[in-house]
DNA sequence: GCTGAAAAGCTCTGCTA
DNA sequence: TAGCAGAGCTTTTCAGC
C-alpha cells in the first residue's frame, strides 16, 4: 500500500481500466496534467501493485468460441491434497477462464469454461473434468446471453 | 472474418492477450518479424474485429474489494420488457462485473459482483437488486478463493 | 510535486524487393 | 508480404519553480 491515492490517480486508473493502451500524452491531458507527472504516477501505481497487468481482449465469436458454461463441482473429500490437485489441474486448462472455491452453495468449486461448441464441452467434461479423482457431482449451466462481461473493478468515486 | 489467421497471427494474439502493452518492437522480435509487418498485422487484427480492446487489470485487494459473490436470480415473468429492464439495470452497476442469462439451471440470470465487504454486499442486495420488479428468488454464493481468473481465451494451438 | 524542453526510443508509412 | 529508412510522435529524464 504505502501510497495514498488522490483524485487524479483514481481518474488515471479509471481511464486505463477502459483503455489499456491509451497514450500517456492523451491520458495526461484527460486528467489535466502534463505528460511527465502522468507517466510518473502510472509507474508508481504499477510498482505499488495497484496495476496488476495489461491485457488485450479478444472477441470469442471471431474464434468460433460460442459456448460459455458455468460448471459447479462437488468433491467427495476435502483434504488439502485433493483440493490442491484439483486446482492445479483446472489452472492448467486454457478453456477454464475462472475457477473459484465457493461457500454458500452446495458446490465446492465453480468453473467458467469457454469452448467452441457442445462437442468440445463434452470432451472437456469427459477428458479433463471427470478424469479428476474424488468428484462427487457436476452441474452445468450454459450462457444464453452475455449481458455484461467487464474487467474493470469498481473504484471509489473520488 | 475475411481474414485467415496464420501461425504468426496466433502467436501475436497469444502474446498480446497476456501482455497488452507489449511494445510492437519487442512483439515483433518475439514472433520473428521485423517491426513494420508486425504492426501492420496488429492493425489488421484490430480492424477485422479479432481484437475487442485493451484493458488495464487492477488488483482488487489494493482497493479493499475483498468480497466476490455469484448471485443467481430467478424472475417471476419473462416478458421481453422485464428482461430488458433487468439487464439495463445490472449493466449500469459498477459492482456487477458479469451478468448473463443462463439455461440448464433453475436461475435465469447469474451475476458476478465485486464489493468491499459483507456490508456493501447487503447494500447491493437491498438497494439495487431486490428493488427490481418481478424477482422470484435469489441465491448467493461467496468466493473463498480465486484459483484462476484470466481474461485470455483459448486460441487454436497453431 | 508540477512544468517545460531536450534526448532517446518507438511507431508508422511509403518504397523496394 | 517482408524489410528498410525517414518522418512524426511518445516517453522519459533533468533542471527550475
Q: What is the largest CA-CA distance in chain B?
A: 59
pLDDT higher than 90, residue A158: no
Question: Would you give the end-to-end CA distance of chain B in angstroms?
Answer: 18
Q: Report the pLDDT value the prediction gives residue B54, as an integer from 0 to 100.
A: 97
Beta-ladder partners of B70: B112, B141
List residues with CB under 7 Å of strand C.
A 8, 33-37, 40-41; B 23-25, 35-36, 39-40, 42-43
pTM: 0.94
pLDDT higher than 90, residue B22: yes
Q: Hey, are the CB atoms on B154 and A59 less than 8 Å from each other?
A: no
Contact yes or no for A71/A118 (Cβ under 8 A): no
User: Shortest CB distance from A142 goes to which of B51, B104, B156?
Assistant: B104
pLDDT, chain B, mean:
95
For residue A2, name the pLDDT band (cuts at 50, 70, 90). low
pLDDT higher than 90, residue A3: no
Task: Provide the strand spans (E) within chain A.
Answer: 51-58, 67-75, 96-103, 109-115, 135-149
pLDDT higher than 90, residue B1: no
Contact yes or no for A4/A156 (Cβ under 8 A): no
Q: Give the closest residue to A86 by CA, choosing from A114, A128, A139.
A: A128
What is the distance between the alpha carbons of residues B8 and B33, in angstroms, rounded to a whole number?
9
| Structural domains present in chain A | 7-47 (1.10.10.10), 60-142 (3.30.70.920)
In the block, cell 444464453 appears at: A144
Contact yes or no for A110/A141 (Cβ under 8 A): no
pLDDT higher than 60, residue B5: yes
Q: How distant, in Å, are the alpha carbons of A138, B4, B135, B145 from that of B139? A: 18, 44, 12, 19
pLDDT higher than 90, residue B139: yes
pLDDT higher than 80, residue B102: yes
For residue B4, name the pLDDT band (cuts at 50, 70, 90). confident
Crossing angle of the two packed helices B35-47 and B7-18, in degrees rounded to 10: 80
Q: Report the pLDDT value the prediction gives residue A157, as an integer from 0 to 100.
A: 84
Q: What is the mean pLDDT of residues B130-142?
A: 96
pLDDT higher than 60, residue A1: no
Q: Report the pLDDT value the prediction gives residue A45, as an integer from 0 to 100.
A: 94
Q: Is A155 on the interface with B (CB under 8 A)?
A: yes
What lies within 8 Å, CB to CB, of A141 at 6+ separation is A69, A70, A71, A72, B102, B103, B104, B105, B107, B110
**DSSP single-letter state for residue A83:** H
Nucleotide nearest to A36 (CA to C1'): D12
Q: What is the mean pLDDT of residues B57-61?
A: 97
pLDDT higher than 70, residue B2: no
Q: What is the mean pLDDT of residues B36-64?
A: 96
Q: Report the pLDDT value the prediction gives residue B98, as an integer from 0 to 100.
A: 98
Distance A27 CA to D13 C1' (A): 19
The grid coordinates of residue B6 equal: 496464420
Beta-ladder partners of B146: A100
**Pairing mode, strands A67-75 and A51-58:** unpaired
Q: How distant, in Å, are the alpha carbons of A87, A129, A137, B119, B123 from that of A96? A: 11, 11, 18, 31, 31
Tell which strand D nucleotides have any atom below 7 Å from a protein Cβ: 1-5, 9-14
Share of chain B above pLDDT 70, in %: 98
> How long a stretch of residues is chain A?
158
Instruction: State pLDDT tens for residues A12-56.
Output: 999 999 999 999 999 999 999 999 999 999 999 999 999 999 999
For residue A103, name the pLDDT band (cuts at 50, 70, 90). very high
Q: What is the mean pLDDT of residues A93-113?
A: 97
Q: Report the pLDDT value the prediction gives residue B157, as an integer from 0 to 100.
A: 84
User: Shortest CB distance from B98 goes to which of A57, A94, A149?
Assistant: A149
pLDDT higher than 60, residue B72: yes
Rounded to 5 degrees, φ, ψ at B91 are: -60, -30
Amino acid at each position: 500500500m504505502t501510497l495514498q491515492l488522490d483524485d487524479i490517480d483514481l481518474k488515471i486508473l479509471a481511464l486505463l481500466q477502459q483503455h489499456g493502451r491509451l497514450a500517456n500524452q492523451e491520458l495526461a491531458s484527460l486528467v489535466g496534467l502534463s505528460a511527465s507527472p502522468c507517466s510518473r504516477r502510472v509507474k508508481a501505481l504499477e510498482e505499488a501493485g495497484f496495476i496488476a497487468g495489461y491485457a488485450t481482449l479478444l472477441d470469442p465469436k471471431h474464434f468460433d468460441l460460442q459456448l460459455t458454461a458455468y460448471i459447479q463441482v462437488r468433491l467427495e473429500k476435502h483434504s488439502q491434497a485433493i483440493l490442491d490437485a484439483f486446482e492445479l489441474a483446472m489452472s492448467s486448462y486454457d478453456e477454464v477462464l475462472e475457477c473459484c472455491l465457493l461457500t454458500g452453495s452446495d458446490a465446492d468449486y465453480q468453473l467458467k469454461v469457454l469452448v467452441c461448441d457442445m462437442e468440445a464441452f463434452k470432451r472437456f467434461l469427459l477428458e479433463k473434468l471427470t478424469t479428476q479423482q474424488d468428484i462427487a457431482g457436476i452441474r452445468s449451466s450454459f450462457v444464453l446471453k452475455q449481458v455484461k462481461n467487464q474487467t474493470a473493478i469498481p473504484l471509489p468515486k473520488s
